[in-house]
Amino acid sequence: MDYETILVEKRDEVGVITLNRPKALNALNSVLLKELRHILSSFSVDDSIGAIVITGSEKAFAAGADIKEMQGLDFVDAYVGDFLGGWDEVAATRKPVIAAVSGFALGGGCELAMMCDFIIASDTAKFGQPEITLGVIPGMGGSQRLTRAVGKAKAMDLVLTGRMMDAAEAERAGLVSRIVPAANLMDEAVEAATRIASLSRASVLMAKESVNRSFEVPLSEGLRYERRSFQSLFATADQKEGMAAFVEKRKPAFRNR
């Protein structure tokens, strides 16, 4: 498939997706969503890909859902057409996804970054949920994922005022895992993704599922889920290899078995 709104490349075992609507600061329109879903589902079944990086431009990761595309919607269009519903599929990607964020990550842009497993931000990044200034509210998880990430006080502040926070504030608040100089952003993100891709695939997928489970279920169920997953990994050759390599003081050679 030829893509109109994204660029796609493979860097060894890492799939890199670059949002590419520069004239609209990577505003997320329906074509972009369709293309993103397509490439993510193709990466999901591609055994040569172990992790994914989603990035934008230096000026904008994404400045939100495309306001020009959605301004004419009415309730029936939005509700019956399940407007924004397709983003759940992006969030459900099983392989690890890192957001490499430079510049604006606003509204749907911030929400897309939060659908990823963690966010590496450049020192120029700015995050916000400005939907309230447009007469709506976040619709792709901003009121839910942001609150889980930064807590009620900061989430209410951002969602109710629509103000932006810079990278330093986002890191202090727990939204961002690390901040790097803008020039190093992609190197850092691809390096992190490469490391993840080099590890045992089954343990990586289970680790992601297990952390995500903590947002869905009570602690006792989450602990049980984690323990069962941990125990089941003893059925893999990679567990034998990982532990043997430690004991023998060598690097493990995982085979994804």
| Measured distance CA(106)–CA(60) in Å, rounded | 9
| Active-site residue, selected from the candidate residues 108, 109, 128, 139 | 108
CB 54 within 8 A of CB 115: no
Stretch that binds ligand HXC, among 135-143, 148-156, 186-194, 201-209 (CB under 6 A): 135-143
Place of tokens 């490499």: 100
**Within positions 227 to 246, which residues make up the interface with ligand HXC, using CB under 6 A?**
none
142 is catalytic: no
Q: By CB under 6 A, tell whether 156 contacts ligand HXC.
A: no
Shortest gap between Cβ of 183 and ligand HXC (angstroms)? Answer: 21
Asked whether position 92 contacts ligand HXC by CB under 6 A, the answer is no
Please report whether residue 136 would count as binding ligand HXC according to CB under 6 A: yes
56 binds ligand HXC (CB under 6 A): no
100 lies in the binding site for ligand HXC (CB under 6 A): no
Among 114, 32, 102, CA closest to 65: 32
The answer to whether residue 65 forms part of the interface with ligand HXC (CB under 6 A) is yes
- Residue nearer to ligand HXC on the CB measure, 64 or 252: 64
Total number of residues shown for the chain: 257
Of the candidates 60, 62, 65, 155, the residue annotated as catalytic is 65
Which pair of structure tokens corresponds to residue 234?
Answer: 């003893």
171 a catalytic residue: no
User: Is residue 39 a contact residue for ligand HXC (CB under 6 A)?
Assistant: no
Q: How many CA atoms lie within 13 A of 181 on its CB side?
A: 2
Burial group, residue 135, by CB count within 10 angstroms (0-12, 13-18, 19+): exposed
Question: CB of 125 within 8 A of CB of 181?
Answer: no
Q: Rounded distance, CA 47 to CA 42, Å?
A: 10
CB of 251 to ligand HXC, least distance (A): 44
Number of Cα atoms under 13 Å in the Cβ half of residue 224: 5
The interface region with ligand HXC, picked from 103-111, 146-154, 178-186, 247-255 by CB under 6 A, is 103-111
CB of 78 closer than 8 Å to CB of 65: no
d(C-alpha 170, C-alpha 25), whole Å: 21
90 touching ligand HXC, by CB under 6 A: no
Rounded CA gap, 105 and 141, in Å?
14
Please say if 65 is a catalytic residue: yes
CA-based diameter of the chain, in Å? 65
Candidates 100-108, 172-180, 200-208, 211-219 — which segment interacts with ligand HXC by CB under 6 A?
A: 100-108
Quick check: 104 binds ligand HXC (CB under 6 A)? yes
Residue 27 binding ligand HXC, by CB under 6 A? yes
Is 35 an active-site residue?
Answer: no
Q: Which residues are catalytic?
A: 65, 108, 111, 131
Residues near ligand HXC (CB under 6 A) are 24-25, 27, 63-68, 84, 104, 106-108, 130-131, 134, 136, 138-140
